[in-house]
Amino acid sequence: MHMSVSGTKGLKLIAVLAAGCVATCAWAGDVKGKVTAQGMRSAENIAVYIDSIPGKTFPAPTEHAVMNQSHLAYVPHALVVQQGATVDFKNEDNVGHNVYWPSVSHNKKGAHNMGTWPQGQAKTFTFTDVGDVPLLCNVHPEMSGYIFVVPTPYFAVTDKEGNFVIKNVPAGQYTLKTASEGGKPASQAVTVSGGAVSVSITVTK
């Protein structure tokens, strides 16, 4: 069977593109594991994230994250967002709430008061600084929550058993870090080369 030169070149191009796709898909992997909490009430609601991807920057996400106020509680209790993300603060309760944070990573210069608004309404805020944001309410002092602002889109929050999964991390060597409400930051080296990588991290009070 005769094949033209242009046809041969086309097949070669398709083969190269296909190989590149296979390689890219093969090199991306999930980082999954378990966080053990020492001296803390629970291993739940701990943020786990890749600190940086060398040579890459990440635009702010266009989709808003949501922090709700429902039954006099912040829902979810802990929310992880990428730096530059906008968060919609909603109110589902039939009473007004006053959302504020006294600092960002203990820096009082990052303090902000969102004000008070009624049921069914929402206010937004864009988090441009990386750090831990403790949420409080002047109206209901028993309310508390956390927003963890991290530098990359590769993050997760632990479940009740301390388990987490960070999906589709590019191949490479990175530093995995944690942020939590009552524990010290922890870090661990991780190498992603395709498939799933399992890690164990200990967070202490």
Q: Does an H or E element contain 81, and which?
A: strand 78-82
pLDDT of residue 96: 84
CATH 2.60.40.420 fits 59-150, yes or no: yes
Whether 79 has a pLDDT exceeding 50, the answer reads yes
Which residues lie closer than 8 Å to 57 by C-beta, 6 or more apart?
none
pLDDT of residue 28: 83
Q: Select from 61, 93, 94 the least CA-distant residue to 74.
A: 93
Domain with CATH 2.60.40.10 in the chain: 1-58+154-205
- Distance between CA atoms of 144 and 79, rounded to whole angstroms? 12
Half-sphere exposure of 41 (CA within 13 A, CB side): 5
Domain with CATH 2.60.40.420 in the chain: 59-150
Whether 186 has a pLDDT exceeding 50, the answer reads yes
Q: Assign 195 a pLDDT band (cuts: 50, 70, 90).
A: confident
Backbone angles phi, psi at 201, to 5 degrees: -130, 140
Mean pLDDT of the chain: 88
Note the pTM of the prediction, 2 decimals.
0.84
pLDDT of residue 10: 44
CATH topology for the 1-58+154-205 domain: Immunoglobulin-like (2.60.40)
Using only the alpha carbons of the chain, give its radius of gyration. 22
- Distance between CA atoms of 43 and 157, rounded to whole angstroms? 10
